[in-house]
Amino acid sequence: MRGKNLFLIGLLSSTLVVTFSAASWGQMEESGSSTEASASRAGGDGSWDGSYVREQLVKPSVNFPAQIKDPTLSPDDVLLLKHREQQRLAAEAAERKRQEEAERKRRAEEEKKRQWELMLLKDPTILIRDKIHIGGIIDKEVLIGGKLYTIGNTYMGAKIVAVSPDSVTFSYKGHKFVRRVKL
C-alpha cells in the first residue's frame, strides 16, 4: 500500500467523510517499521542507535457537509418551507409563553390563598370583625343590628367580654378584638 494519502470513507447519518493522512506511509513500509522493530533497534543500554523510523501520528478529520437540500424543491418551495418552519416555531414560542403565564398566575393565586389561610390562623377575627357594627351602648348593653346584647352573649360566634362607654371587647376563637361605636 504505497501512497502519500490514505482515504477511508464511511456513511453515518447521511454523509460523513473521514480522512486519514500519512505522508510517510511508504517510508514506514519500506523500513518495516513497527513498535517491535523500533524497539529492537535500541541499544542494550536503552539508547537509540538512530536507525529507527519516527512514527507520525495519524489525525482523523471529520467533515459534515452543509445542509443537504432536496433537489426536487424549487427555490420558492424552499422559501415557503422556511416560512412555515418560522411560523411553527413562533406558534410554539407563543404557546410556551401562554403556558408560562398561566402557570405564573396559578402560582400567584395559590400563594395568595396560602397567605390568606396563614393570616386566618394567626388572627381568625378577620372573618367577623368588619361585619360587627355597634349601633350604641347603654350602660352594659350593646345595640348590634337592632338588638340589645349584654356581657356573655354571642353575636356571629363572637362572645361579648367587656363593655365600656365607647367600645365593646369581643372574644372569637381565643382572640380578642375591640369594636368602637361609630358616631
Provide the residue range defining the domain that includes 152. 126-180
Please say which residue of 122, 142, 164 terminates a domain: 122
Same domain for 46 and 77: no
pTM above threshold 0.85: no
CA-based nearest residue to 10, from 58, 62, 56: 62
User: What average pLDDT is seen over the chain?
Assistant: 74
- Average pLDDT estimate for 70-94: 89
Same domain for 92 and 116: yes
List phi, psi (to 5°) of 118: -65, -40
Same domain for 150 and 172: yes
Q: pLDDT tens digit string along 83-138? A: 999 999 999 999 999 999 999 999 999 999 999 999 988 888 888 888 898 989 98
Same domain for 57 and 14: yes
pLDDT at residue 3, rounded to an integer: 44
Pairwise CA distance, residues 163 & 178, whole Å: 10
Number of domains in the chain: 3
Q: pLDDT tens digit string along 141-159? A: 999 988 999 999 999 999 9
State percent of the chain over pLDDT 90: 37
Pairwise CA distance, residues 52 & 37, whole Å: 8
Please say which residue of 85, 107, 122 terminates a domain: 122
Q: pLDDT tens digit string along 9-19? A: 443 334 444 44
Same domain for 145 and 118: no
pLDDT at residue 45, rounded to an integer: 54
pLDDT at residue 74, rounded to an integer: 86
Same domain for 77 and 58: no
Pairwise CA distance, residues 128 & 70, whole Å: 74
pLDDT at residue 28, rounded to an integer: 43
Pairwise CA distance, residues 52 & 31, whole Å: 8
Q: CB 144: neighbour CB atoms within 10 A? A: 19
- Average pLDDT estimate for 59-75: 65
Helix segments in 16-125, DSSP class H: 25-31, 35-40, 75-122
Same domain for 77 and 52: no
Same domain for 80 and 52: no
Same domain for 89 and 131: no
> In three state form, how does the secondary structure of 97-116 look?
HHHHHHHHHHHHHHHHHHHH
